[in-house]
Structure 1
């Protein structure tokens, strides 16, 4: 995540992230604080930066894959634990409305700063949360888990050292927490090969960069008279 970027200089934002993200295909950034909406194509670096979206907290991008299949990426910034309950309700109501509008065949990926701790109670949240969570769940975490249960989403957390999972350090306790996540539709969880933190990435933020590797399983329509084959 990229934090506290000068809203009047989108070119400066691009320069900050170019080195760290040059080997990635898509990056979702939170709290970039660029005003209004727009896009900036950085020809030399080979990427385009889009900002704004459905609200201050949600932006989406629908990309074609193959045979009229699409993937929809939602980049979000959820309310903090101290936020007013009405603000939290509005955020999840908006996100629910937007995800439900997506075609049933679309793959959905929701990623960003959820400001939640979902804990590691995989027994209570089967199909939603695996066995490799971190620490305990808080009130915001329950909201996210309930949202995932409603929308048939899975929180992708892989078995690895906590230092490769946790994304943010509490300024007072100095404890590291996992509050940035990648969510996918439960039926597409096998598309996600790995999710991990990149501790060495430097993007002028108090969050650590999360990298997710995916390999989409696509439905290929065989040509007339040919033998159908399943391809990855």
Structure 2
């Protein structure tokens, strides 16, 4: 969690995160609970990363926000800056070879305690962002869905593999249903 209200803590947190990403040779990381307001970017010179974030005005004291930490050498190749859709969804289009692209999403789903309307709004927004993405793009969702999907690979055979663990919770069911509908309709949406 990065918090812009305390610059010393911000510098400390971001420096630690960047050093760990650099040590692990990670080029792009998804972040949840980024507390910077609005949409923006910040180039960190220490380990060579650029932070991109989205946090729309929140109500009821929520501290939401999502972002990416991107190795600066990759960030400089982006044709457009990452775009914040809401305080729970930000996406970026990463150029690949042969004029192909990968669309990366950083998402932060509602917790179990959230009201159903808030959960429905999140999945509606995510569906919209996915629908607006070119069907030719590779799609990568980096996430915190606050969900446990369990291990019922028979019921969710086209969505869930055989190696799940634990029991499915309500957020897991919502995620599985969402994935199931996308699997069936993504090609239809883009024809």
Q: TM-score, normalised to structure 1's length? A: 0.62
Aligned partner (choices 53, 56, 60) of residue 87 of structure 2: 56
| Contact 2:96/2:102 (<8 A) preserved | yes
Unaligned 5+ residue runs, structure 1? 154-184, 186-232
Query: Match of 2:106?
Result: 75
Please give the residue correspondences for 1:168-187 in structure 2 after superposition, counting only pairs within 5 Å: none
| Contact 1:6/1:12 (<8 A) preserved | no
More helix by share: 2
Computed over aligned residues only, the root mean square deviation of the Cα atoms, in angstroms, reads: 1.7
1:6 deviates by 2.3
- Bigger radius of gyration among the two: 1
Please give the residue correspondences for 1:6-155 in structure 2 after superposition, counting only pairs within 5 Å: 6-8=3-5, 9=7, 10-22=10-22, 23-52=25-54, 53-152=84-183
1:68 deviates by 1.7
Kindly provide the CA deviation profile for residues 42-80 of structure 1, in whole angstroms up to 9, marking residues without a partner as x. 233111110111111111111110122110111111001
Corresponding residue pairs, total? 151
Structure 1's consecutive aligned runs of 4 or more residues displaced over 3 angstroms after TM superposition are 9-13
Equivalent-residue separation in structure 2 for 1:45 and 1:102 (angstroms):
31
Equivalent-residue separation in structure 1 for 2:161 and 2:148 (angstroms):
14
1:149 deviates by 0.9
Kindly provide the CA deviation profile for residues 76-130 of structure 1, in whole angstroms up to 9, marking residues without a partner as x. 1100111010000000000000001111110111122111110011111113111
Equivalent-residue separation in structure 1 for 2:34 and 2:12 (angstroms):
11
Whose relative contact order is higher, 1 or 2, with alpha carbons under 8 Å and at least 6 apart?
1
1:24 deviates by 0.3
| Contact 1:75/1:110 (<8 A) preserved | yes
Question: Aligned with 2:28: secondary structure?
Answer: coil
Unaligned 5+ residue runs, structure 2? 55-83, 187-191
